Amino acid sequence: MKVITVPCLSDNYAYVLVDEKAGEVSVVDPVEPDKVIPVVEGTKLKLKTILTTHHHADHAGGNQGMLKAFPGLTVYGGDGSRIPGLTNQLEDGAKFQLGSLSVQAMQTPGHTTSSICYYIQDADQRVAFTGDTLFVGGCGRLFEGSPQDMYTSLNEKLAALPKDTSVYAGHEYTRANLRFALSVEPDNQALKEKARRCASVDCTMPSSIGEELATNPFMRVDQPDLQKATGATDPVQVLAAIRRMKDNF
């Protein structure tokens, strides 16, 4: 399994997922077909699938363009009424194959009510495409879901994945996220090191579940420093407070 990152719009990422064993590729959130299609064609493999993380136009807005260029694609997602071209609606925990790759759909509400993260395994290689649910060093704004929703998505579902799972998020927000994270947990040495490493690179993908557990304040809501910074002890209340602080940072 190989993941090719395709920068789109001002700060979005689409991804081309290459399954060399099966001789096919899939695309994740191909919002700008004109940028994604040359990458697909460069693999010289057959495109069969679109994986959509959520319905927002900066993620699902390229589906129809991809379908026009590649008729008959299978389009996965979590919201049949709001994702263009959807053919396969996914429920939480749904499992399916993309060629030789094993996929598990994780329903992760918070940013939207129907967001899906894709956990994909190829032997001992593991990746997660997290859309706007989990960012490197942050999480998505709560446009439709509640703090409880996002807590469950981040700290019960995604946090339970193997720590070496590579994380590919929907936007390049990392440096701003880490600046905020340092403002609420300034003594976190792992966070300081991550911020140093990310300061000098254009693309900070992938992270890993283990790194996010060590550095991402939204996945560290049980830590005393974050409880002190928010004046709360209940983990869901801590997450809600950190999200409000980040919104105004």
Residue 248 one-letter amino acid: N
Q: Of the listed 29, 55, 59, 149, which one is catalytic?
A: 59
Question: Which helix H or strand E contains 202, and what residues bound it?
Answer: none
Catalytic residue (choose from 54, 55, 122, 149): 54
Asked whether the beta carbons of 120 and 96 are under 8 A apart, the reply is no
Q: Which of 19, 29, 79, 111 is catalytic?
A: 111
Question: Of these residues, 19, 29, 55, 56, which one is catalytic?
Answer: 56
11 included as an active-site residue: no
Active site residue 58: yes
Q: How many helices (H) and strands (E) does the chain have?
A: 9, 14
54 carries an active-site annotation: yes
- Catalytic annotation present for 55: no
Whether 59 is catalytic is: yes
Cα within 13 Å of Cα(72), Cβ side: 3
Which of 19, 58, 79, 122 is catalytic? The answer is 58
Catalytic annotation, residues: 54, 56, 58-59, 111, 132, 171
